[in-house]
Structure 1
Amino acid sequence: MDEKDQPAAGFLKIEEGTTNVLVPAENDVKIPTASVSVFYNPEMEMNRDINVAATSVFVGRLAERKGFEKINIRYLDAFSASGIRGLRIANEVGISVVLNDIKPEAVNLIQKNITENNLQNASAVCEDANVLLCREKFAIVDIDPFGTPSPFLDAAAMSATFLLGVTATDTAPLCGAHLKSGMRKYDAVPLNNEFHSEMGLRILLGSIARETAKFDKGIRPLLSHSTRHYVRVYAEILHGAGRADQTLQNLGFLAWCPHCNNRETKNGLAVFMSETCECGSKRKLAGPLWLGPLREEQFCSDVISMLDQMPLNKKEPAKKLVESCKNEADLPFFYDQHMFCEELKISAPPIEPFLEKLRTAGYIATRTHFSGTSFKTDAPIDEIKKKLLE
C-alpha cells in the first residue's frame, strides 16, 4: 500500500463494492451499536450489496418512468454511523445522498469518508432522524436504526416520495419471542412458532402499510427478506387515498393451530375468526399483518442482473438470496419439512423431489428463502404428510 493510501492513525480502511470507508480501528462487531461512538458491521455487507443493486434498479425505473436525472433524486441514509450505506449509494449509484447521524463524532467520520471518496453528491448532517424526516421530503428514505424502526416509521412514511427501505433488527418482538414488546411497538400480535421469521416480516410490512396509509400513500413490496438477525423491506410508495385503501386490503389476520398446524388467513382489519380449530384444539390468532406478496418478481430479476454487473465481495450469496425470494410462492405462511418428519417419525427426504411430488399432484410448491427446510404450498396438510410418506 502506498503511503498516500495509508489510513489516518486510529482508523482502518474498508472496501465494499468500489467504495473505501474509514472505520475506527477499535471497531468491534460484538459490541452493541448503541454503546460505541461509530459502528461498522461487516456482517451486513451482503445487505448493503443488495441495497446498492436494488436502489440502482429503482433509480433506473424513476429515470424511465418519471424522466428524472440521477442528481435530482435525493436519498436519505437516516442512521449513517460510519456512512458505509449512504456512501456506497452516492458512489456506486450516483444519486444525491444525505447522510445523517445524531452523533457528532459519526458525522465527523462521515465527512472524512465523503472526502476520502471525493464525492460531490453527498452531504453529512447531524440531526434527530425524526426531526429531519418531518422537515424534508426525500425520493428514497432508508432507515436502518439500532433495534426497532418503529419510532421512526411514521416520519419516514411521511417523508418518502418514491421508495422506503426499512431494516429491523428487533426480531424477538417482531417474531413473538417478546410478545408484549412486539404488541407495543408494532400494534400487532405476533406468534412465536416454526414460521416466526416470516411472521416478523409480515408484521413489519403490516405496520409500514398502516403508517403510510395515514398520509394517503400505499405500498408495493418490491423485495422483502428475513436474514439471520434482521428483516429488510424495500417498499415502493404509491400515492393517493385510493392506492392507500387498496394497500390496506392486503392486511389481515392468521389463525394457527399449534396441535395440528392448520392455518387460516382472513383479509380485513375487523374480522371474525373462531378460536376453535376443526381438530377441537384452541387456535392462536395473530395480526394485523401483511398477507399480500412479499416481492415483485420482475424487480427481483432486475436486481439479480444488476448484482451480476457489480464488483462485490458478497455477490454470490446476495444473488442466491434474491433468487430465492423471486422464486418463492406468494402464499402465507411457510411450512417446515423437518417438523412434519419429526411428527411422522421418518427421516427427512430430499426436499426437491418431495416438492415435485406436490407439484405433480397439481399443487403449488416452492422452497423459500427463510431456511433450507422451509417450503410453501397450497396443498392440505394431510396431502403434505401423504407425499412425505411415499
Structure 2
Amino acid sequence: MIPSPERFLQVLEGQTDILVPNENNSIPTASASVFYNPEMEMNRDINVAATSVFVQKLIERKGFERENIRYLDAFSASGIRGLRVSKETGISVVLNDIKPEAVELIRQNISRNDLDRTAAAICENANILLHREKFAIVDIDPFGTPSPFLDAAAASATFLLGVTATDTAPLCGAHLKSGVRKYSSVPLNNEFHSEMGLRVLLGSIARETAKYDKGIRPLLSHATRHYVRVYAEILHGAKNADKTVEHIGFLAWCPACGSRETKTGLSVFLDEKCPNCFKNRKIAGPVWLGPLRETEFCDAVVAELDRLPLNKKEAAKKLVVTCKNEADLAFFYDQHLFCEELKISAPPIDPFLEKLRAAGFIATRTHFSGTSFKTDAPADVIKKKLLE
C-alpha cells in the first residue's frame, strides 16, 4: 500500500516534480517500500546531462528520432531518476521496480509530470527484463552491488550502459572476500582505494560485455562519497571486445615504499619482490587500466549542465571538469602520505604539481580527493619536489 497523502513529500529536481513517502526520505534502506535518496541528486543531475549529450550523439550520427530511443531505469524506486530522464531529455523511458507499491507510485508521478506518452512503469525482475528486451540505454542503480545484474545489463544495452555501485567496501578492498566473490577481482584497501573500486567495477563491466562480443569506451567515470558511477559506450563486434580486454590487467603495489607496477593481460607475471626496496608487494586485479573518461564527452556534459536548471549545477560541473583534466594514468598518489613520511607540512598542491610539470613530468589533480594527484614521476622525484 502507498502511504496516505499526508505522508507524501513533494520533491523538485531539475524540471521534475514528484511525490515520495516522507518517512523514507532521510535514511533510505533496502527494506523501505519506496525510497528516495536526496544525497544522490548530483548523481542524477550528471546523469540527465550525460544522457542528453549521448542521445544527441545518437540522433546526429545514427539518425535516430528522439522518441524512439529507449532508456531503461532498471531499479526505479521512487522513479526520480527515470522520470527526470524522460522529462528533461524527451526520450522514451521504461521505469522498472520489483515492488508493486513502488510501481504504483511511479505511475502517479508519471501522470503528475504529464509523461504518459514517453514513460511507462512496469513491475518485473530486473534480470528477466534485461535478458528479454534490448534497450538503447540501460541504467542500473540498485541498492548496493550491481554485480548480480551486470551480465544481463551487458546483454541488453545496445549503445550506452550506466552503472552505479554503492557497495564501496567490497569494491575498494575493505571487505576483501566479498569483493572477490562479487567482482572476481582482488582489490587493495590503501590510499588509492577509491580509484581501485572504480577500476574493479570497470574491469568487471568490460569482462561481462566481452562475453557478448561487445567492447566498452568509458565516457565518464567517477567515485563520489559512498558510490562509484560509470557511463560506458557500447562498441559492437569481437574486435572491439578484444581491444577492450586489452585494457584489463594487474597492479603490483609495495606497501613499504609505495612503488607501483601495472601490466595488462589476464595472465601476467609480476614479481612479488619490490625492485626498489626488495620487500613484498601486493598484487591486485584484474582491474581496468585504460582511460576513465573521454575529454570531448566531458566538455559536452559540462556545457549541458550549464544550460540546465539544476540545484547541484556548480558541484556537478566541478566534478566533471576535474575528471576531464585528470591524467590517463592508473592510480593516484596522496600528497599527505608523502608529507607524513618526510615529516613536513603539506605545501599547496597546485604549486607542487607545477614543479613536477616543470621537471618534465605529467602531474594533475584528481577528483578522488583534494590531496590526490596523478603523475608519472617516480617516488624519489616526488619527495624531492615536496622538500624544495
Which of 198, 202, 216 is equivalent to 1:201?
198
SS at match of 1:145: coil
Deviation, structure 1 residue 29? 2.7
CA distance in 1, matches of 2:235, 2:313: 30
SS at match of 2:196: helix
Structure 1: which 5+ residue stretches go unaligned?
1-6
**Is 1:378 matched with 2:376?**
yes
1:72-100: CA deviation from partner (whole Å, max 9, x where unpaired): 10000000000000000000000000000
**Is 1:228 matched with 2:219?**
no
Deviation, structure 1 residue 35? 1.5
Question: What letter matches 1:49 in structure 2?
Answer: D
SS at match of 2:24: coil
Paired position in structure 2 for 1:4: none
CA distance in 2, matches of 1:353, 1:63: 44
Per the normalisation by structure 1, the TM-score is: 0.97
Contact 2:27 2:37 in 1 (8 A): no
Deviation, structure 1 residue 25? 1.9
Question: What letter matches 2:79 in structure 1?
Answer: G
Which of 97, 113, 116 is equivalent to 1:117?
113
Deviation, structure 1 residue 41? 0.3
Paired position in structure 1 for 2:288: 290
Question: What letter matches 1:171 in structure 2?
Answer: T
**Is 1:61 matched with 2:57?**
yes
CA distance in 1, matches of 2:291, 2:195: 12
CA distance in 1, matches of 2:152, 2:169: 24
**Is 1:27 matched with 2:54?**
no
Paired position in structure 2 for 1:47: 43
SS at match of 2:256: coil
CA distance in 1, matches of 2:221, 2:142: 17
Deviation, structure 1 residue 8? 3.8
Deviation, structure 1 residue 385? 0.2
SS at match of 2:240: helix
CA distance in 2, matches of 1:253, 1:222: 22
Question: What letter matches 1:122 in structure 2?
Answer: A
Deviation, structure 1 residue 229? 0.2
SS at match of 2:46: helix
Deviation, structure 1 residue 13? 1.0
**Is 1:280 matched with 2:285?**
no
Query: Structure 1 runs of 4+ off > 4 angstroms?
Result: none
CA distance in 2, matches of 1:223, 1:356: 26
1:51-88: CA deviation from partner (whole Å, max 9, x where unpaired): 00000000000001100011010000000000000000
Structure 2: which 5+ residue stretches go unaligned?
none
Contact 2:28 2:37 in 1 (8 A): no
CA distance in 2, matches of 1:206, 1:25: 38
Counterpart mapping for 1:259-278 below 5 A: 259-278=256-275
Question: What letter matches 2:18 in structure 1?
Answer: V
**Is 1:94 matched with 2:96?**
no
Deviation, structure 1 residue 31? 4.1
Paired position in structure 2 for 1:248: 245
Contact 2:247 2:289 in 1 (8 A): yes
Paired position in structure 2 for 1:168: 165
Question: What letter matches 1:333 in structure 2?
Answer: F
Counterpart mapping for 1:342-353 below 5 A: 342-353=340-351
CA distance in 1, matches of 2:259, 2:280: 11
Deviation, structure 1 residue 30? 2.1
CA distance in 1, matches of 2:111, 2:38: 22
Deviation, structure 1 residue 26? 1.5
1:290-329: CA deviation from partner (whole Å, max 9, x where unpaired): 0000000000000000000000000000000000000000
Paired position in structure 2 for 1:184: 181
Paired position in structure 1 for 2:303: 305
Equivalenced residue count is: 383
Question: What letter matches 1:95 in structure 2?
Answer: I
Which of 74, 79, 97 is equivalent to 2:75?
79
Paired position in structure 2 for 1:107: 103
CA distance in 2, matches of 1:31, 1:216: 37
SS at match of 1:26: helix
1:233-272: CA deviation from partner (whole Å, max 9, x where unpaired): 0000000000000000000000000000000000000000
Paired position in structure 2 for 1:3: none
CA distance in 2, matches of 1:27, 1:36: 7
CA distance in 2, matches of 1:141, 1:8: 32
Deviation, structure 1 residue 9? 3.0
SS at match of 2:109: helix
CA distance in 2, matches of 1:179, 1:95: 40
Paired position in structure 1 for 2:125: 128
CA distance in 2, matches of 1:323, 1:43: 21
1:186-236: CA deviation from partner (whole Å, max 9, x where unpaired): 000000000000000000000000000000000000000000000000000
CA distance in 1, matches of 2:40, 2:285: 29
CA distance in 2, matches of 1:104, 1:123: 14
